[in-house]
Chain A
Amino acid sequence: MDELVQAFTLMFTPGSELSQIILLTLQMAAFSTVISTAIGVPLGVLVGLYRFPGKRLVMRILNTLMGLPPVLAGLVVFFILSRSGPLGTLRLLYTLPAMVTAQVVLITPIVCGLSATAISGVAPLVHETAHGMGLSRRRELACLLYECRSQLLSIVFVAFGRSIGEVGAVMLVGGNVQYKTRVMTTAIMLETNMGHFEYAVALGIALLVVSFVINSIALSLQERTSAPEAEGARSHTRGGRLGGERR
């Protein structure tokens, strides 16, 4: 209990090492989430929307990569950024960009696979309706994305959660360097290795609280923007709502 109080006091002490670690963690998670969403969602829409030869294979590969072990992703990025690797001259190893890169490699397939599944579930219905109303392709795509917005938002949450809680890859390519690349999860690992078990648990709880606060803020923002529409109604009156939205 003392450790928990200590962790929370340190968390809100500006300039303390723990507050610096939390800021860095949030920075890393934000970059990773934005970049992997920016790559993953458009790719997922393409895969989910269009038929092309080898689509089943692509889906299988995506599903496999969704279970990519973080250390493996870290190891691949490590080899690329290592002194002896192809991008070794950039000296990016053990920096924040290296950690973000490893996480993007890890998370993009997840974002891509999940959004492909979400899109392909709704696409036929939207297409039918849009076709009947004579909408342009661009309008149809906009409708589709609008229909999937809550799924897409939860995919972003998944990406963020994965990023903030990941340890294997960031440990490998970040190196857990104090003040530079030490994030919450690697700090927890370090405290555990140092035998400070209670403090490590306190840090873990602090991490969860931070995630909770961020998720709550994002969710309440989402609720505010889509307040008029009841969540439960969407599965029943999909076509009708789509028409209503146009007006």
Chain B
Amino acid sequence: MKTNTKFKALLAAVFAAMFALFMVACSNGSGSASSASASASSESASSESASASSAAAIENPVIRISTTTSVNDSGLLPYLQPYFEEATGYQWEITSAGTGAAIKKGETGDADALLVHAKASEEEFIESGYGVERIPFMYNFFVIVGPADDPAGIKDCATAAEAFAKIAESGQVFVSRGDDSGTNKKELQIWEAAGITPEGQDWYVNAGAGMGATLTQAAERQGYTLSDKGTFLANDANKTLTILLGESDDMKNTYSMIAISPDKWPDTNIDGANAFIEWMLGDEASELIANYGVAEYGEPLFYLLDASSSASAASASASASSASSAS
């Protein structure tokens, strides 16, 4: 009997402690959020009053941005975030996944804007009415990375397709993302261009993982893989793998922004999405993007479409106009 009451008292104490913890966690969450926004606004010392007034005018200050792992892993958005939040008074809520899932979040109404890199899927997305307009704005190059001694001998290939053909011929391990991401789609295009069906081959490893995990696996197996440059440079895999082929014409990787259409999801933050797109196309963001990575890697990780060669600028404006006409 005595032990029973003791046990009850213990149980009550445990419940009370859990409840207290829960309350603390809740109040802490809101507290840190408000303190974060407070520090963000105090950071903008010069434009404090401006951001305060714009914050008052903003109905919903949170923009949910769905992006790909390659953008997020490169660190670009966290780098731009404070500048953006200071300039506009909006806050970013960034989620990252493979391009397939990143776009899906737009379809399910779980994002306000997309920042992705898979042209065909993006156009399909716009055509089904989920997005307002596809706005390509920056690019970089995919790279083929592999062991430094390059057993397949792809170093001097002119195109990615040629390099892939050599890898297949040599039977060296190739690690594929296999996750329907933009990089995965690009890789499959290159295999197709090379006229090879890698699926089911002994040397073809379908990792079904994000870029970081795929690079780790390629490094462990000392095999080849296709990566975006930014993620590779930021990943520890660059200690045992090197870039063997980059910047060939068939390796260009264009990133676009898409605002989610309020027609499909009336509660999306379309004002926020437009503010995001407008700011990203503006001078401040352009300069920040063009300089991103220069200090650390000696070269920018992303290039702006307008600032690049006339050919790519033309293709960009062409695709932009085709996108706007489609919408």
Q: Does B178 lie at the interface of the complex (its beta carbon under 8 Å from any beta carbon of A)?
A: yes
Given that A83-B220, A93-B220 are known contacts, is A186 also in contact with B208, CB under 8 Å in the complex?
Answer: yes
Q: Which residues from B are CB-within-8-Å of A83? A: 219-220, 222, 240
Q: Does B217 lie at the interface of the complex (its beta carbon under 8 Å from any beta carbon of A)?
A: yes
Q: Which residues from B are CB-within-8-Å of A195? A: 97-98, 100-105, 180
Contact of B206 with A177 in the complex, beta carbons under 8 Å: yes
A192 CA to B108 CA in the complex, in Å?
13
Contact of A182 with B220 in the complex, beta carbons under 8 Å: no
Selected contact of B213 from candidates A175, A182, A194, CB within 8 Å: A175
A183 CA to B41 CA in the complex, in Å?
47
Contact of A94 with B220 in the complex, beta carbons under 8 Å: yes
Q: Which residues from B are CB-within-8-Å of A180? A: 205
Q: Does B179 lie at the interface of the complex (its beta carbon under 8 Å from any beta carbon of A)?
A: yes
A98 CA to B108 CA in the complex, in Å?
37
A199 CA to B207 CA in the complex, in Å?
19
Q: Does A197 lie at the interface of the complex (its beta carbon under 8 Å from any beta carbon of B)?
A: yes
Residue ID in chain B nearest A195 by CB atoms: B104
Q: Does A178 lie at the interface of the complex (its beta carbon under 8 Å from any beta carbon of B)?
A: yes
Q: Does B50 lie at the interface of the complex (its beta carbon under 8 Å from any beta carbon of A)?
A: no
A236 CA to B322 CA in the complex, in Å?
81
A32 CA to B208 CA in the complex, in Å?
23
* Distance between B298 CB and nearest chain A CB, rounded to angstroms: 27
Contact of A193 with B98 in the complex, beta carbons under 8 Å: yes
Given that A190-B179, A195-B101 are known contacts, is A82 also in contact with B208, CB under 8 Å in the complex?
Answer: no
Q: Does B221 lie at the interface of the complex (its beta carbon under 8 Å from any beta carbon of A)?
A: yes
Contact of A194 with B100 in the complex, beta carbons under 8 Å: yes
Majority SS of interface residues in chain A? loop
Q: 1/0 contact trace for B191-231 toward A, CB 8 Å?
A: 00000000000000111111001000101111000000000
Q: Which of A15-71 contact B (CB under 8 A)?
A: none
Contact of B209 with A194 in the complex, beta carbons under 8 Å: no
Q: Does A163 lie at the interface of the complex (its beta carbon under 8 Å from any beta carbon of B)?
A: no
Contact of B101 with A193 in the complex, beta carbons under 8 Å: yes
Residue ID in chain A nearest B69 by CB atoms: A193
Residue ID in chain B nearest A94 by CB atoms: B217
Contact of B205 with A177 in the complex, beta carbons under 8 Å: yes
Contact of B179 with A193 in the complex, beta carbons under 8 Å: yes
Q: Does A103 lie at the interface of the complex (its beta carbon under 8 Å from any beta carbon of B)?
A: no
Selected contact of A178 from candidates B98, B105, B178, B220, CB within 8 Å: B178
Q: Which residues from A are CB-within-8-Å of B210? A: 193
For this complex, 10 residue pairs linking A to B, each with C-beta atoms less than 8 Å apart, are A175-B213, A176-B207, A177-B206, A177-B207, A178-B206, A179-B206, A186-B208, A190-B179, A193-B101, A195-B105
B-side residues, CB < 8 A to A, are 97-98, 100-105, 108, 178-181, 205-210, 213, 217, 219-222, 240
